[in-house]
Amino acid sequence: MSITAIKTAAISVIAIGIIGVAAGSAAARPFAPGKGKIYAGVSDTGSKQDYFAFAETVGRHVPVLQAFEPWGGGLKEAKQRWKRTETRGMLSISTSPCYECGEVISPRAIAKGRGDGYLIRLNRFLVDWKRPTYIRLLPEMNGHWNPYAAFNADGSARDPAHKTKQFRRAWRRTVLIVRGGKRGRINRKLRREGLPKLKRGQGAPRRLMKPAVAFQWVPQTHGSPRIKRNRPAAYWPGSRYVDWVGADIYGKFPNFEGLERFYRARKGFPFMIGEWSPWDADDPGFVNSLYEWAESHRRTKMLVYYQGFGDNNPFMIQRYPAAAEALRGQMDNRRYQRYAPHSRRPDRGGGGGGGVAPKS
């Protein structure tokens, strides 16, 4: 995704629209915070120093760190940053390493099993990590800037490998394999979905261990392009394959009315803000409104700040001192869980005060 022009087109539709399909219940443990609590999170820039700079700016440890990773990429560096920052990990997985890069695999190819080697490796990585991890799989899937979207900016359909049906099939296959289990049982589930079986020759053992993982479905609340076939519901894989539902919102386009409709449209799941930040204006009112909205909507369990990439991007919190001060005040609240459960600095009170992780 691009930092400016593409994000502008994208985020302008973030907080409008409605999903429009009745909700189900989550299929696996979502690893949400305790009753009445909310996780704060921040995006990973590739440098742990940016995490610590953000934590210092807001005056407290931030318990969730979201890493952006391409399909097939290495995961060790993200794990090292989670370990060093004592955060709960989140993987935002795309099929392209950058906005202008070509995709490494299509939704149809994933559905057909051509990416199974990576899924098996991802399963093993999560099992070895031994800590709950969130996967924000193929986010903003109804935005034309993403290679796995089904439509171009002008509303024209992409090739058959990118149909919304193929996206749903790819999502289901990913979840079934990464969640693990006996290969025969996984294959029976794949067969029920009309998907090819997981083959031994692809490196699949007789049994994949079951990691602590939760899948987060985070579309744009309104498609871009804004056509019926590109609405969020067209990409919905089914409640058995989703553990969280969420949306993104930015200070440049603070459409809380649209966010409200989106929140109400699919019940039964913990809700998250997958990306948020001020944008081109130091507006503490936006920060306060977002946090007040989250606290008044009891299913909201996570808000993840998006820092962007590069020194000159418009999302770094340090560019907005008034907004940063508002965020510091909002997070000084017992509603916000202080540390990830595995942290060596456990949450004894749930919130309030400082507590920035050391940099050494």
Q: Which domain holds residue 151?
A: 5-331
Beta-carbon contacts of residue 66 (< 8 Å; ≥ 6 apart): 41, 42, 43, 44, 90, 91, 92, 134, 136, 274, 304
Is residue 360 in a domain? no
Is residue 89 in a domain? yes
Measure the CA–CA gap between 238 and 246, rounded to whole angstroms: 15
Residue 350 has pLDDT above 80, yes or no: no
Is residue 341 in a domain? no
Residue 251 has pLDDT above 90, yes or no: yes
**How do 207-208 and 181-182 pair as beta strands?**
antiparallel
110-136 pLDDT per residue, tens: 999 999 999 999 999 999 999 999 999
Residue 248, beta-bridge partner list: 275
Total domains in the fold of the chain = 1
Beta-carbon contacts of residue 252 (< 8 Å; ≥ 6 apart): 8, 11, 279, 280, 281
- Name the strand (E) or helix (H) holding 134: strand 133-137
Is residue 33 in a domain? yes
Beta-carbon contacts of residue 227 (< 8 Å; ≥ 6 apart): 151, 155
Q: Take residue 220 and report the two structure tokens written for it.
A: 């744009």
Residue 314 has pLDDT above 80, yes or no: yes
Beta-carbon contacts of residue 251 (< 8 Å; ≥ 6 apart): 277, 278, 279, 280, 281, 283, 286, 287, 323
130-159 pLDDT per residue, tens: 999 999 999 999 999 999 999 999 999 999
**Model pLDDT, residue 238:** 97
CATH code of 297's domain: 3.20.20.80
Is residue 345 in a domain? no
Position with higher pLDDT, 132 vs 1: 132
201 burial level (CB within 10 Å; 0-12, 13-18, 19+) = exposed
**Band (345; pLDDT cuts 50, 70, 90):** low
Is residue 337 in a domain? no
Residue 48 has pLDDT above 70, yes or no: yes
Is residue 86 in a domain? yes
Is residue 351 in a domain? no
Q: In this predicted structure, which of 9-13, 326-330, 356-360 has the lowest mean pLDDT?
A: 9-13
Residue 27 has pLDDT above 80, yes or no: no
Longest dimension (CA), the chain: 57
Measure the CA–CA gap between 38 and 135, rounded to whole angstroms: 18
Beta-carbon contacts of residue 165 (< 8 Å; ≥ 6 apart): none
